[in-house]
Chains A and B, each alone.
Chain A
Amino acid sequence: MSDKTLKFTLNGEPMEIAVSPSDMLVDVLRDRLELIGTKKGCGKGECGACTVIMDGEAVNSCLVPAMKAMGATVETIEGIGSPEKFHPVQETFMDLGAIQCGFCTPGMIMSSKALLDKTTSPTSKEIKKVLAGNICRCTGYVKIEEAVLAAAEKMREKQ
């Protein structure tokens, strides 16, 4: 087992870290880099709690070998907004009750952001299709969908 040097861009900053070819991206993020916002709900790509955005696409980081991030741009929940300036989708999730236990929330927000980065006029149908890979057991998805639509509206207004 030989360590490789993984170089990638993480939340806008250059990152370099030794990884083993067997490492999964989710474990590098959570255990090595201590970015625990990305959650592990199943470890098998079946729940979306581990969703991050890699080169602009939402992916299950539990199924991405860390090495696949070589030279890539990776965004996690830690990088998309903060109290100084929340991402619109964080604002609407907070304001519209789209958060209950909070465990699915980071993954759900990342999938939503990936969609909103591509279009600020998503239809309900598109939102449902994109978020179908993020399981939530608390909300019934109702206020989550409302929050994504509201975030889209905010983003259209800004444009």
Chain B
Amino acid sequence: MKDYNVIGHSVRRLDAVEKATGTAGFTSDMKLPGMLYGKVLRSPHAHARILSIDTSEAENLPGVKAVATYKNTPRELFNTSATMTFTVPPLKPVLDQYIFDNVVRYVGDEVAAVAAASEKIAEAALKLIKVEYELLPAVFDPLEAMTPEAPVIHESHKKNIPGGEVIQIPYGDAEKGFAESDLVIEKSFKVPVQKQAQMETQAAVAQVGLDGKITVWSTTQTPHPTKMILAKIFSVPESKVRVLNPPYIGGGFGVRIGLSAKAEPIAVALSMLSKRPVKVVYTRKEDFIASDTRHAGYVTVKLGAKKDGAFHGFYVKAILNGGAYCSFSCETPGVLGCMALAVYRIPNQLYYGHSVYTNTTPSGAMRGFGNPQAMYPIESVVDMMAEQLGMDPLELRLKNIMQVGDPWALPYKCSSTGLAECIEKGARSIGWEKRGKLNQPGAKKLRGIGVGVGTHCSNAWPWCGDYSNAYITVQQDGSIHLATGVPDMGTGTSTSLPQLAAEVMGVRLDQVSITFADTQSTPFDIGSHASRTLYAAGTAVVAATRDARRQVLEYAGDLLKVPPERLELQNSVIYIAGQAVGDDCAGSGVCQVGESERKSISLKELAYTAHLRNKQFIGIGRIVPENAPPWHAHFAEVEVDTELCQVRVIKIAAVHDVGKAINPMIVEGQIEGGVLMGIGYALSEEIKYDEKGKQLQDSFHKYMLATADDAPEIDIMIVESNDPTGPFGAKGVGETGLVPTAAAIANAVYDATGIRFTEIPLNEERVYQALKEISK
């Protein structure tokens, strides 16, 4: 295993000091001269037509500078999610949102907005806006919304299927596969609405100059695509729009790939109307009810196997609740299907899936993007198959998981996998051999152990357009500046990308600085989503740095009169390979005739020499990434209190093949956070809607995510399979932490209780009902 200078080390994050001292800049902290505060009026109804809006009283309230409704804002269709900027033909992006419409389609839908001198005044003004609604029938369940009698939510999609898009992925002949199988198991599952609940709510500050130039600071995960969306909405050239993070984002987990809900366009609209900068910060309740959730839905899995355990036929169907607006509802079923078909080597597979409009909060991207929804059902069925075949669940998986080079339904190769090693290490950590021996007869608290495995992607190609650009400039003192369009929403890109640059260039990390997430000063990058930032933007950074390094060595070769191929650059010094730095090479046989005696030069001196000769080294990286599968195996030990009907996780062993950990501490941290989110998905996080379409769990108090006191023992292990396509072998990590967690927990609960749950989260109510059933 090669030892690197900078990468592979758990160096302190470059933003650590700012964040540990409270000086890190976030959108919600911003203040500009003359800035106004924007507040949004939201629909109390799940589905209604707006018959009239009277904003006159609100406009006359002292301190109010602008009121926006559908009447005085652009009537341009868009999609808050970035799909409208990277959907590749023949697919068409579904554009079904206006800033404000004259129809509201879910409780929380935007109706109007006010910009005023203070938040208090803006809130008071909202109360003065008079809206007359005509209530329309509403539907909340996707299966119901597909029936002919269901209310139509968007006129352009009369069957309530966003874009009319139904995903079918055939691979081999699934029917034949089942016919040839010795054993076929089919089961249907229901998965819930989960919420990103990132710590900084959706926020934007917009400033529209008198010259028409639009500047927006916001919490977006994708500044460049967001710039494109805003340019379209407001019909201005993209070159007149600047979008940036200031420079940090308080988390994302998918909730702001593209716009931060409607924060940016509302802030821009209010800024245009008031001719002042306007700040819009969502309250926590608004963040819950009016920004994208995870897709809930119904997933059916059918698995056929030969009696020796070889999987032979596979069918997965997913009907997802898209909510009131499309957002990522076309992509999510696609990714769900692809990931479902990519874990096991099965010659005959079929996936069928789509989303359905309902009058609930729009579903969009949330960490995992369909993969957690796929793996809980799939891994449950795999365990069922193991039981019926009389095989150990690990043995069955090891027999069928993808190997390098195996064919599959995806258009890129399975270029690396360390999943077998992940399974082996995780099994040891959890004590897999204890399974079946954990409980005394008559025990009221039952323990169980379970496993779940999965994969993911390392960027969004081929589901969407995906590319990255970066440039490196060598500063006049030999330090390096890196410009990349990706943000850092906590994933550590503002540290790991400089680590890549430092390693490739041959300088210390403290010689590298980075500008990121500003469309004005960085080249286009899709942004942070699809676990792509290190893999794709990192590849661009490596390419840019190699380009700059090549130029540096060429220039040095010229100066030192040595062919550049013989030169090394390490620790900011250029020297002849094999020769100690600083040595005079006279008589050593290393110098060639006619070469200068000086055989090394510091990067600092070289850069300044070049500068005085009117030159700067600028490296450019422009790449289209390949794609590569990360792999993960989670093992869970749980305890089920059968008297109180509560499931508690004792330990999760999470083993992840990440290709190469560029910064192991950051990688572990990302996985640890993902695991806790996965535990929440399995046991306690759920948003339900009441009969009027109102969210029941619309605050931190009601939404049961884990606190520090709820976190169990989490053992993370990293496996490095060194993928040939990723920077230094790295693959995607960000979303992987919660892909198989719920699966492992549900399988552990089965081991403990013999109950196969087909619905999560396994909260008290569900466990109670199930225990009641079996006691009959």
Contact = CB atoms under 8 A, between A and B. Distances in A.
Contact of B708 (A38, A96, A138, A145): A145
B22 A139 contact: no
Interface of B: 10, 12-13, 15-24, 26, 28-29, 31, 196-201, 248-251, 253, 283-284, 489-492, 665-666, 668-670, 672-677, 699-701, 705-711, 714, 716
Looking at A40, A90, A102, A132, which has the most chain B CB atoms within 10 Å of its CB? Answer: A102
A49, A81, A99, A144, most chain B CB atoms within 10 A: A99
A96 B13 CA distance: 10
B16 A103 contact: no
Contact of B15 (A102, A131, A139): A102
B42 to A, nearest CB: 17
Contacts of B709: 128-129, 131-132
Main DSSP-derived SS at the A contact region: loop
B15 A43 contact: no
Contacts of A142: 668-669, 672, 711, 714, 716
Given A95-B12, A137-B677, A141-B708, A40 B198 contact: no
A15 interface: no
A140 B20 contact: no
Contacts of A38: 22
A99 B18 CA distance: 10
Contacts of B249: 101
A138 B19 contact: no
B21 to A, nearest CB: 7
B22 A100 contact: no
Given A46-B701, A137-B673, 17 more contacts: A37-B21, A46-B700, A76-B22, A81-B21, A94-B12, A100-B669, A101-B489, A104-B199, A105-B22, A128-B711, A137-B197, A138-B251, A139-B669, A140-B673, A140-B711, A141-B672, A143-B672
A53 B350 CA distance: 58
Contacts of A103: 26, 198-200, 250-251
Given A101-B249, A101-B490, A86 B20 contact: yes
The 5 closest A-B pairs by CB, nearest first: A37-B22, A101-B490, A103-B250, A102-B19, A140-B672
B673 A138 contact: yes
Interface string A96-132: 1101111111100100000000000000000111011
B677 A131 contact: no
A141 B234 CA distance: 42
12 contacts: A44-B699, A81-B21, A97-B13, A99-B16, A100-B490, A103-B26, A103-B198, A127-B708, A136-B708, A138-B669, A140-B676, A141-B711
Contacts of B250: 39, 101-103
Contacts of B198: 101, 103, 137
A94 B20 contact: yes
Contacts of A100: 251, 490-492, 666, 669-670, 673
A134 interface: yes
Contacts of B28: 39-40
Contacts of B705: 135, 137
Contacts of A132: 707-710
A18 to B, nearest CB: 16
B16 A34 contact: no
A78 interface: yes
Given A140-B711, A141-B708, A44 B701 contact: yes
A42 B284 contact: yes
Given A102-B250, A137-B196, A138-B669, A77 B708 contact: no
A41 B666 CA distance: 24
B200 A140 contact: no
* A34, A93, A96, A103 interface centre (most CB from chain B within 10 Å): A103
A78 B200 contact: no
